[in-house]
């Protein structure tokens, strides 16, 4: 029987018992770093495969460095705790795995990271598709600009900076769109509220520079590897201006939650013919199979969770 379990204060406990005080620093100030990792159920093999777990924990530890979150675990230990948690939960379906390092000090009027205790917690919840639509989605350019590295580092998943994504996503959805595309403060295309962005133009793949304030996406890296190795495409990382999106042959977004998501409309203008483009379709199909351990060439990206009994 599947059971919701968390890793909390060094132990595996029922999720319902993993509770913190209202005085917790991270709750007031967003002083935390998290990851979003997918566990993908493989029906044929009867197992869950965790996608690029090591890379997620490496980015997580980078965030911890930036935010002075001193947690004792190494990347290997974090991976081992994660595998054990999934085994203990016993889920037989797709999962979203959420590690969180946070300033656990119960002190509210203190803005000095170096004086605050940190802790690590981890949970996993059943999770299907993120953007609830068939086919290509509708995006708008957000009126909210992407935070700049001179304000809060956007390259890692700092909890507090997600207010930026949340404002953009909420605005987009309330206006009838599926997702928001954010520009940097000086008008370059940055990324979606929870996804990196790619554009296909004349058979070449273009994506904004990480220096344009997007998250160093692991799906972004996977899509670039697949585009290069499997489709033989050239990839250009460069500054992209808003109007270029209106002229693209294809646009797609990448993210752990969103997978490879085709964009059919941007600011109410069709991208290509407004449907799923051929490059996007190929990449999406490759990606969706390999994250479940179904492609031997990319099996090394997947960590198999052994069944608890064996």
Active site (annotated) includes residue 169 = no
Per-residue exposure over 28-41, b if at least 16 CB sit within 10 Å of its own CB, e if not: ebbbbbbbbbbbbb
- With a CB cutoff of 8 Å and minimum separation 6, the contacts of 220 are 196, 198, 207, 214, 254
39 binds ligand PMP (CB under 6 A): no
Alpha carbon distance 199, 294 (integer Å): 27
Rank residues 51 and 102 by Cβ distance to ligand PMP and give the closer one.
51
Alpha carbon distance 195, 263 (integer Å): 12
212 binds ligand PMP (CB under 6 A): no
217 binds ligand PMP (CB under 6 A): yes
**Least distance between ligand PMP and beta carbon 160 (Å):** 13
220 binds ligand PMP (CB under 6 A): yes
From the candidates 157, 169, 281, 282, which is the catalytic residue? 157
42 membership: H or E segment, kind and range: strand 37-42
Query: Strand pairing of 204-207 and 235-237?
Result: parallel
195 binds ligand PMP (CB under 6 A): yes
**Least distance between ligand PMP and beta carbon 142 (Å):** 12
285 membership: H or E segment, kind and range: helix 278-290
* Near ligand PMP in 164-183, by CB under 6 A: 165
Count of residues binding ligand PMP (CB under 6 A)? 15
* Near ligand PMP in 241-260, by CB under 6 A: 254-256
Of 196, 207, 213, 280, the residue at the interface with ligand PMP (CB under 6 A) is 196
**What is the distance of C-alpha 137 from the center of its chain?**
18
Binding site for ligand PMP (CB under 6 A): 36, 165, 191, 194-196, 214-215, 217-220, 254-256
Catalytic residues: 157
């Amino acid at each position: 029987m599947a059971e919701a379990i968390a890793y909390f204060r060094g132990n595996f406990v029922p999720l319902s018992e993993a509770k913190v005080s209202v005085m917790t620093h991270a709750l007031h100030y967003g002083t935390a770093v998290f990851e979003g990792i997918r566990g993908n159920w493989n029906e044929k093999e009867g197992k869950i495969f965790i996608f690029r777990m090591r890379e997620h924990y490496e980015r997580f530890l980078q965030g911890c460095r930036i935010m002075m979150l001193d947690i004792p675990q190494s990347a290997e230990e974090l991976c081992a705790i994660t595998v054990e948690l999934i085994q203990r939960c016993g889920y037989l379906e797709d999962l979203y795995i959420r590690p969180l390092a946070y300033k656990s000090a119960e002190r509210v009027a203190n803005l000095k990271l170096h004086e605050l205790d940190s802790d690590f917690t981890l949970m996993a919840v059943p999770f299907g598709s993120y953007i609830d639509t068939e086919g290509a989605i509708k995006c708008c350019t957000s009126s909210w600009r992407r935070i700049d590295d001179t304000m809060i580092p956007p390259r890692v998943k700092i909890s507090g900076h997600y207010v930026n994504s949340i404002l953009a996503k909420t605005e987009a959805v309330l206006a009838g769109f599926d997702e928001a595309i954010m520009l940097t403060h000086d008008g370059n295309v940055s990324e979606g509220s929870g996804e990196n962005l790619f554009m296909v133009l004349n058979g070449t793949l273009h994506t904004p520079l990480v220096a344009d304030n997007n998250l160093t996406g692991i799906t972004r890296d996977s899509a670039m590897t697949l585009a290069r190795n499997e489709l033989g495409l050239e990839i250009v990382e460069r500054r992209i201006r808003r109007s270029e999106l209106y002229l693209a042959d294809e646009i797609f977004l990448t993210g752990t939650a969103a997978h490879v998501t085709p964009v059919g409309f941007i600011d109410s203008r069709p991208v290509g013919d407004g449907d799923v483009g051929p490059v996007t379709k190929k990449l999406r199909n490759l990606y969706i199979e390999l994250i479940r351990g179904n492609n031997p060439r990319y099996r090394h990206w997947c960590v198999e969770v052994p069944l608890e009994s064996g």
